[in-house]
Chains A and B, each alone.
Chain A
Amino acid sequence: MDYQQLLSKIKDKINILQAREDLGILNINIEKKQIREVIKFLKDELKFNHLNFLTAIDLIDNNQIEVVYRLYSYETKEKIVVRVKLERQKPEIETISDIFRTAEWHERETYEMFGVKFLNHPDLRKLLLPDEIEMPLRKDFFHPDFEKLPEI
């Protein structure tokens, strides 16, 4: 099943803002309020039962933060990437940690690294970082201890 077929299956169910193929894998951009619906649909109907990872990308030039969900299906061996763009000032999105339990920790990590707030998350604490460091993976993160690397 190539990405066109997959796309046609999804098309009528969900409102896709933008779809593209990236190295043979379907990437779909969706609206943020649809995220739970989409993930549930992908999991239940299309058997995407493995969440490889969930992360965010700081698109500082567009003033956006993009949350990336990558799904895989043990049954059909298909892959799909779901992307949601959030505004950078107040990134908020519904949690999917009850659909994919592994998302709980991934969301916590994304929360502390990018400040993306996952609504209704059962336990949204910092996972890896000490308390005083906020959102280090954002491109404008600055810490007084930073030293610039010498250019080679």
Chain B
Amino acid sequence: MNKFPIEIEKGLTTDEYILNMGPQHPSTHGVLRVVLKMDGEVVKDAIPDVGYIHTGLEKMFENRKYEQIIPYTDRTDYLSAVNNNLAYCLAVEKLLGIEVPERAKIMRVILCELNRIMSHLLWYSAYGLDMGALTPIIYAFREREEVIDLVESMTGGRLTHNALRIGGFKYDLPKDFIYKLKNFISHFNDRIDEYEALLINNVIFVNRTKDIGVLKKEIAISYGVTGPSLRGSDISYDLRKIEPYSGYEKFEFDVCTGKNGDTLDRCKVRMNEMRQSIRILEQAIDHLKDGDIMAKVPKVIKPAPGEIYCAVEGPRGETGVYIVSDGSEKPYRIKLRSPSFSNLSVLKEIVVGYKIADLVAIMGSLDLVIPEIDR
């Protein structure tokens, strides 16, 4: 226990104590441990302890060829595998100077947005459980199943799809994909309203999340928080808008922001983002034209020496890949910039002074994925 820099004050009336939250705890969503200094039910200090599922991905990458790395990137943020694939593939394509065909770009957008919906739906259901509402998970999983089926029909995988290739896609869309997608889009907006009625607009929920865990602008920026957690603090930063990649410049959508940066705002941003994703999907169907799905990629991928950092807007924020190439078949160094890593580090700034129930609510609203932190 002395490993953690926590000092316990001995008072006359109450004693502070250390509470170990995790690694096995229902609401840390994975093997995350948070060491809490508690005074009764009030959190005085919170120190996250990560690394329980560190797999040394960055070291592994150094011993893999460029095309072999794609499946590994699936495993970092396993809830939105395609976004990680995309960050990596974009980086390698830029290094090689490959231009991806138009159709493949739009297909990537479709997959990314479906992944975003999948991820936000899972966040919604898990957050419901965190808040003690046991029903939302089933409702959200009903639609999530539809999305997963869609993605499965396209890529063959349900969670870690290994969907993208450097230069485009291996396989084209299945014939009835667009029909099924349209079918899904047609009713999903109503379902989001249903989710909001069930959980987000509930009085108890609003009472528990409003003005709780306020993440101020300056703190959010200083801690490198990105994604919906940053946008909740009223900073309109979305890589899809600012540096459009993979043809996002063609799409019309709004960047959802919150006002106060409290937990409720972060929740609402995510719910609204799902609506924007639907908008993007609708446009993507119109943009989708026949054509090639794979660029001309050399048989042996040997980028020239150099380096590249490529980031995409994942469901949790800036998902970046930094590649240093030394001109060989294997990358010299790959650094994964994972959004949850920075988003977790801000935890202690926003939970101190709140109760343990708020800690659960705040941690849930940051939408952490642990394998992404540990890599």
Direct contact between A and B in the complex (CB less than 8 angstroms)?
yes
Q: What are the residues of chain B within 8 A of A58 when measuring CB–CB?
A: 333
Please tell me the number of chain B residues within 8 Å of chain A, measured between CB atoms.
Answer: 41
Please determine whether B59 and A127 come into contact, CB atoms closer than 8 angstroms.
Answer: no
Interface centre among A77, A102, A137 (most CB of B within 10 A): A102
> Could you say which residues of chain B place their CB within 8 Å of the CB of A81?
309
Query: Is A52 within 8 A of B337, CB to CB?
Result: yes
Contact pick for B54, options A57, A105, A125, A128, CB 8 Å: A128
Q: Is the interface of A mostly helix, strand, loop or mixed?
A: loop
CB distance from A14 to the nearest CB of B (A): 22
Contact present for B307 and A22 (CB under 8 Å): yes
Pairwise interchain contact A129-B308, C-beta atoms closer than 8 A = no
Given A102-B342, A105-B341, A149-B63 contact (CB < 8 Å): yes
Mark out the residues of chain B between 333 and 356 whose CB falls within 8 Å of any chain A CB in the assembled complex: 333, 335, 337, 341-342, 345-346, 349
Give the size of the chain A interface in residues (CB under 8 angstroms).
34
Chain A residues 59 to 82 lying within 8 A of chain B, measured CB to CB, are 68, 70, 74, 77, 81
In the assembled complex, B222 has its CB within 8 A of some CB on chain A: yes
Q: CA A102 – CA B222 in complex, angstroms?
A: 6
How near does chain B come to A91, taking the closest CB pair, in angstroms? Answer: 15
Query: Chain A: residues with CB nearer than 8 A to chain B?
Result: 22-23, 25, 49-53, 55, 57-58, 68, 70, 74, 77, 81, 100-102, 104-105, 113, 123, 125-130, 136-137, 141, 149, 152
Pick 29 A–B contacts, CB within 8 A, sort by A: A22-B306, A23-B306, A49-B222, A51-B224, A52-B224, A52-B309, A52-B320, A53-B224, A53-B320, A53-B322, A55-B335, A70-B322, A74-B235, A77-B242, A81-B309, A100-B224, A101-B223, A101-B224, A101-B345, A101-B349, A102-B224, A102-B345, A105-B342, A127-B50, A128-B375, A129-B54, A136-B59, A137-B58, A137-B333
